[in-house]
Amino acid sequence: MTRHQMAYKEPKKILTPASGFLYGYTHSLNPYTGCLFGCSYCYVRQSPVGLFRGEEWGEWVDIKQGIHEKYIREMSSLRKRGKEVTIFMASATDPYQSVEYKENITRSLLEAMVEMPPDFLFVQTRSPLVTRDIDLFLKLKDSLRLSVTVETDLDEVRKNFSPQAPPIQARLKAIGELQKNDLPVQAAVAPVLPFSKQFPETLAALVNRIVIDDFYTGDGSNGKRTERLKIKERFTAEELEKWYGEHVHEYAYEQMKTAFSSDQILISKEGFMPY
């Protein structure tokens, strides 16, 4: 079993001006650097933090310290200047990865946001731990979107592509719990992985909004990052033609239309924009 490398770091700032894929936001916020889920297809593997660390992505994480106070200080400064603040959490890590159970870094940030709310907060995760913070989300719900990644309904596929990520059934249960609490939640089928014919109906029973993304529309480089990560080799020969290529989001869209109306299905960037 891999021994994870964990370190405590105190960043100079916690709110990072957003750009690129996140052009709709003013800031991104990452409670951690690194991610122990270590998904094989994660585009961060091909970013500077993933390439130049000298350690395998998924085997290390830096735990950011003092960020409750930093958030309050930075938000106060932005508000004094009359700035709108829309936050994407998180663009380069999962805010609910396994260390969050013990460290509560994400929860401390949400507590700070309850004190000084942003104009909009988008929370992206693939962890059922997100339900722990329902009490805080309810206080932020008027300016909030929760997005839970469920790339497939087949756990054997999940084990092939992201063996350290939470089981699919646990994620589906979490989506249902968020929805029952009347929180604005979507399922992110991103990236699309092989799924069963029942998947659209499974999601439609839990949520009324989904976003579809694939390796070509969603990796930020028209599939080049994915090619460098050799993701194609993880597909079986039978899966490859149907589930890998520029057409995949279109195929997934047609499948999802059997259970969702067209206005409930968003494609790539539009599903991750604020408001």
Q: How far apart, in Å, are the Cα atoms of 205 and each of 12, 34, 173, 182, 273? A: 44, 33, 11, 14, 24
Mean confidence (pLDDT) of the chain: 91
What's 9's DSSP letter? E
Q: Which residues contact 115 (CB under 8 A, 6 or more apart)?
A: 72
Please spell the DSSP secondary structure of 198-252, one letter per residue: THHHHHHTT-S-EEE--HHHHSSSTTHHHHHTTGGGGS-HHHHHHHSSTTHHHHH
* Omega prior to 204 cis, within 30 of 0: no
168-214: pLDDT as tens digits: 999 999 999 999 999 999 999 999 999 999 999 999 999 999 999 98
Give the whole-angstrom CA distance, residue 267 versus residue 275: 15
Distance CA 34, CA 30 (A): 9
Q: Is the pLDDT of residue 230 over 80?
A: no
Bridge partners of 28, per DSSP, are 16, 88
Tell me the three state secondary structure of residue 91.
coil
Quote the Cα angle for 257-144-147, to 5°.
Answer: 45
User: What does residue 16 show for φ and ψ, rounded to 5 degrees?
Assistant: -110, 125
Q: How far apart are CA 171 and CA 173, in angstroms?
A: 5
What value does the mean pLDDT take over residues 41-52? 70
Q: Which residues of the chain form beta strands (DSSP E)?
A: 5-9, 15-17, 27-29, 32-33, 60-64, 86-89, 120-125, 144-149, 185-189, 210-212, 265-267
pTM of the entire predicted model: 0.93
Range of lowest pLDDT (20-29, 35-44, 224-233): 224-233
Query: At 100, is the pLDDT very low, low, confident or very high (cuts 50, 70, 90)?
Result: very high
Q: What is the pLDDT of residue 225?
A: 61
DSSP type of residue 90: -
Task: Provide the Cα torsion 219, 223, 229, 234; round to 10°.
Answer: 110
- Beta strand 120-125 with 86-89 is parallel
84: left (phi over 0), alpha (psi -120 to 50) or beta: beta
Supply the pLDDT for residue 1.
41
- Identify the weakest region by mean pLDDT among 53-57, 98-102, 111-115, 144-148: 53-57
Can you give the C-alpha Rg of the chain in angstroms? 18
**Which residue from 26, 19, 9 is spatially nearest to 74, judged by alpha carbons?**
26
- pLDDT for 149-180, tens place per residue? 999 999 999 999 999 999 999 999 999 999 99
- Can you tell me which residue has the tokens 């009324």? 208
What is the bridge-based pairing of β-strands 32-33 and 60-64? antiparallel
How far apart, in Å, do the first and last CA atoms of the chain sit?
Answer: 42
All domains of the chain in start order, with CATH: 5-272 (3.80.30.30)
Say if residues 158 and 167 touch (Cβ distance below 8 Å).
yes
Q: Which residues pair with 6 in a beta bridge?
A: 61
Percent of the chain predicted with pLDDT > 90 = 76
